[in-house]
């Protein structure tokens, strides 16, 4: 009897550990990450100032809640194997920094790697997973981004599951953001492992370029979009396709920035800002805090968009929203202004994944043009000009 009880207790505890924390990413996570702007040049003042700025500029109210420290915060492991932050860059320690960030009503994220060393050559978590997760929990960390450098010979599923279990065992809810660049098809096995998984190599702030063309090439906005083909059926509340951190405000044109932000919103990707918020022009802030675009990303139905029509010059993408609403994005990849004369009634829009459909012959929807401010309805053809490298982003509601 006693043995049976012990066995049952063991099974229950194993089962408890073998879960990720629920409810941390019912909508795609929103926040900021240090990597795109600062790479290894980070310190605690930057993190504190960024947290202050997120609150001061209204970005917290817009939904951005995580302040994420990427690679290179690390100092050394001590003789017992515990990791410590770099004493020069983070002299007050991570607990104090987490307290500060929490005091602003925000959450703190940290970065590690499944291998022995991170991509920046710092100590990774291999062989220290439980110890590191416990340390992060004691510091008050809320988010762990887990990278994939130096992992030759490791099973991705095994390594990410181990860290998931370590986080669970540490007992503090921490969002688990998997960053293995889509190399091992995480969408096929990571639904119960991570809250999001990267689907591609790193982003680069350009519309359609590919930098380097080697194993580590960095990808422009359209290149990353094209890597999402076939993946939407794997995404949903709690488990998202991560198209990488945003490059809005990092040198693209205003049209490209708006399109980039709209695409990430439509694709239900996490929205993690990558620019230097302390030096952001008003025009960039307006893009990043557009509440209508954010609402499309954060929509409760949690359905990733798909391309339902392509006329060779413009692409038409749809995202079914809660309450029978829809978002429609018209994308101009090209170099010329393109006029659309899109006939809503000529297209029956039907989604195999969500089973949502709409027949504009039977129902008229009112649309609102989010960036342009215009309104209209689907009883008439859509008469608009779409600038090069830009999108038209519409929100549709039934007219009854």
Interaction of residue 71 with ligand GLA, rule CB under 6 A: yes
Please indicate whether residue 202 is annotated as part of the active site: yes
For strand 175-178 and strand 143-147, is the pairing parallel, antiparallel, or unpaired?
parallel
119 binds ligand GLA (CB under 6 A): yes
376 binds ligand GLA (CB under 6 A): no
Q: Dihedrals φ, ψ of 238, to 5°?
A: 95, -10
Query: CB count, 10 Å around CB of 398?
Result: 14
One of 44, 70, 257, 299 touching ligand GLA (CB under 6 A): 70
Q: In the annotation, is 150 catalytic? A: no
Q: Note whether 147 binds ligand GLA by CB under 6 A.
A: yes
Shortest distance, position 216 Cβ to ligand GLA, whole Å: 7
Near ligand GLA by CB under 6 A: residue from 75, 93, 120, 237: 120
Interface stretch with ligand GLA, choices 116-124, 227-235, 261-269, 362-370 (CB under 6 A): 116-124
Contact 81, 132 (CB under 8 A): no
Between CA 228 and CA 218 the distance in angstroms is 15
Relative to beta strand 315-320, strand 326-332 is antiparallel
| Contact in structure between 81 and 65 (CB atoms under 8 Å) | no
- In contact, 250 and 274? CB cutoff 8 Å: yes
On whether the CB atoms of residues 73 and 85 are closer than 8 A, the answer is yes
Q: Binding of ligand GLA at residue 180 (CB under 6 A)?
A: no
To ligand GLA, the closest distance from the beta carbon of 132 in angstroms equals 16
Question: Would you report the helix, strand and coil content of the chain in percent, each value rounded to 5?
Answer: 30, 25, 45
What is the C-alpha separation between 297 and 261, in angstroms, rounded? 10
Q: Residues in contact with ligand GLA, total (CB under 6 A)?
A: 9
Candidates 50-58, 117-125, 167-175, 333-341 — which segment interacts with ligand GLA by CB under 6 A? 117-125
Window contacting ligand GLA (CB under 6 A); options: 113-121, 254-262, 291-299, 327-335: 113-121
Footprint of ligand GLA on 190-209 (CB under 6 A)? 202
Q: C-alpha 165: how far from its chain's center?
A: 22
Q: Which of 165, 202, 276, 299 is catalytic?
A: 202
Q: Rule CB under 6 A: which residues touch ligand GLA?
A: 35, 70-71, 118-120, 147, 179, 202
């Amino acid at each position: 009897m006693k043995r049976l009880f012990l066995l049952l207790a063991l099974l229950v505890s194993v089962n408890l550990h073998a879960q990720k924390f629920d409810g941390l990413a019912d909508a795609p996570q929103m926040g900021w990450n240090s990597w795109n702007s600062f790479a290894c040049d980070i310190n605690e003042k930057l993190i504190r100032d960024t947290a202050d700025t997120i609150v001061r500029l209204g970005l917290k109210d817009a939904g951005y809640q995580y302040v994420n420290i990427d690679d290179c915060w690390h100092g050394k492991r001590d003789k017992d194997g515990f990791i410590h932050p770099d004493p020069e860059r983070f002299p007050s320690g991570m607990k104090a920094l987490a307290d500060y960030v929490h005091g602003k009503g925000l959450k703190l994220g940290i970065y590690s790697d499944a291998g022995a060393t991170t991509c920046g050559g710092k100590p990774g978590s291999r062989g220290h997973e439980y110890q590191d997760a416990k340390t992060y929990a004691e510091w008050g960390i809320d988010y762990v981004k887990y990278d994939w450098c130096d992992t030759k010979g490791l099973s991705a599923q095994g390594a990410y599951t181990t860290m998931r279990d370590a986080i669970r065992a540490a007992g503090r809810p921490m969002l688990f953001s998997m960053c293995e660049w889509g190399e091992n098809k995480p969408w096929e096995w990571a639904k119960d492992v991570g809250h999001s998984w990267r689907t591609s190599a790193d982003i680069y702030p350009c519309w359609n370029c590919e930098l380097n063309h080697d194993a580590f090439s960095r990808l422009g906005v359209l290149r990353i979009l094209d890597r999402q083909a076939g993946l939407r059926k794997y995404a949903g509340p709690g488990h998202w396709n991560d198209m990488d951190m945003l490059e809005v405000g990092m040198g693209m044109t205003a049209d490209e920035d708006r399109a980039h932000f709209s695409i990430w919103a439509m694709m239900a990707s996490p929205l993690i800002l990558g620019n230097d918020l302390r030096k952001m022009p008003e025009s960039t802030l307006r893009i990043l805090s557009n509440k209508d675009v954010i609402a499309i990303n954060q929509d409760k139905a949690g359905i990733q968009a798909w391309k339902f029509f392509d006329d060779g010059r413009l692409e038409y993408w749809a995202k079914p929203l809660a309450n029978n609403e829809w978002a429609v994005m018209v994308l101009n990849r090209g170099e010329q202004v393109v006029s659309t004369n899109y006939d809503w009634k000529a297209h029956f829009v039907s989604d195999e994944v969500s089973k949502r459909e709409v027949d504009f012959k039977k129902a008229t929807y009112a649309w609102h043009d989010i960036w342009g401010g215009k309104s209209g309805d689907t009883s008439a053809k859509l008469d608009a000009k779409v600038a090069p490298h830009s999108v038209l982003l519409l929100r549709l509601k039934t007219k009854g």
